[in-house]
Amino acid sequence: MPQEFVVTASRTIKFRDYSDEKPGEDEVLVKSLVSGIKSGTEISLYQGETPFLTNHFDPVLRLFTPAGQKGLYPCNLGSWLCGMVVETGARVKNFKPGDMVHGGLPHRPTNLCKEDALYLLKKGMSPETSLFTDPTIFALQAVHDAQIKVGDQVAVFGLGALGLLAVQIAKLNGAERVFAVDVLPQRLELAKRFGAEVCLDASQCDAGLEIKTMTGGKGVDAGIEISGAYTALQTAIRAMHPGGLLVTASYFKGNGNQLNLGAEWHHNRITLVSSMPVWGMPHRNYPMWDQKRIEETALRLLENRQLETAAMIGKRFPYTQAADAYRFIDSDPAGAVKVILDY
């Protein structure tokens, strides 16, 4: 009998048996080959640092409330997975047994899902590259929300997979100069490789002041904060041109004691925008841009090799050692831009 892993408590992973079901008429059974761990959302769930731990999200009011909370754990984790079709329902038209497919699915040896949740793996595209579809979706959404135009000065704060992809997409969108900011030298090197003209170690300098100085005292036109750290958000605010647009595309943990909205944000009329395309929130240019169009555009960028991803892949772990993979990401973020599970 196959086994899946679940998080049963903060930083605690356990395996349990599950049984495969026969596909329904419009369902596909997929046998997993590789899956990628998402170092933001998944690690927050693994660490127990999420509002869902103690609150309930009301989808109508779009508020977190303490009422009705039944507990977060045990829960599955997952982001993007690539595998092979082993069985299809009678009404499935686009896939057949033996096809290589990928999509947003939980980490487990097999998954039963609707046909429209999957994409066919394009010939010439590696299973590993397909795992970057999810972060590319979020990075593309952030660049759209930042309204980056030809000639813009842009800064990206936080150089995980999303940030490094945002650097590349910002360049594709016409950014004249991209500043990349992080505290990990390995990630700054990757940003330079991917096209960032200026890479700043925020642990070694006042990055906001440096960016202001290097732009003739003006600051950047658009900023994207993808670290989830309040200190980075404060630095990003300090780096902005008066009237500039700052987009957050990360999940912030803890309290905001390090954030001072009474300083530069207040005095420079900076616009702060949340860019998370989750929980039913549509693209800001909906219906021209719906979720499917964002996904398909992100996928084309990867299929056409317009984005570099191979250098972001860190360690690989057998699926049976998933607990070790999450401990590694938790303890060594420098080596965990994209960690892969092999089945």
- Per-residue pLDDT tens digits for 63-114: 888 765 567 789 999 999 999 999 999 999 999 999 999 999 999 999 999 9
Q: What is the pLDDT of residue 67?
A: 62
Backbone angle region of 335, left / alpha / beta, with phi > 0 → left and psi within -120 to 50 → alpha: alpha
Q: What is the pLDDT of residue 309?
A: 97
> Domain residue spans in the chain?
3-132+309-342, 134-274
pLDDT under 50 in the chain at which residues?
A: none
Q: What is the pLDDT of residue 282?
A: 82
pLDDT in tens, 259-289: 999 999 999 999 999 997 666 788 888 889 9
Q: What is the pLDDT of residue 232?
A: 95
Residue 314 Cα distances to 24, 203, 224, 266, 318, angstroms: 37, 23, 24, 40, 14
Residue 63 Cα distances to 43, 53, 219, 260, 284, angstroms: 23, 14, 34, 24, 20
Q: What is the pLDDT of residue 4?
A: 97
CATH of domain 3-132+309-342: 3.90.180.10
Q: What is the pLDDT of residue 161?
A: 95
CATH of domain 134-274: 3.40.50.720
Q: What is the pLDDT of residue 278?
A: 65
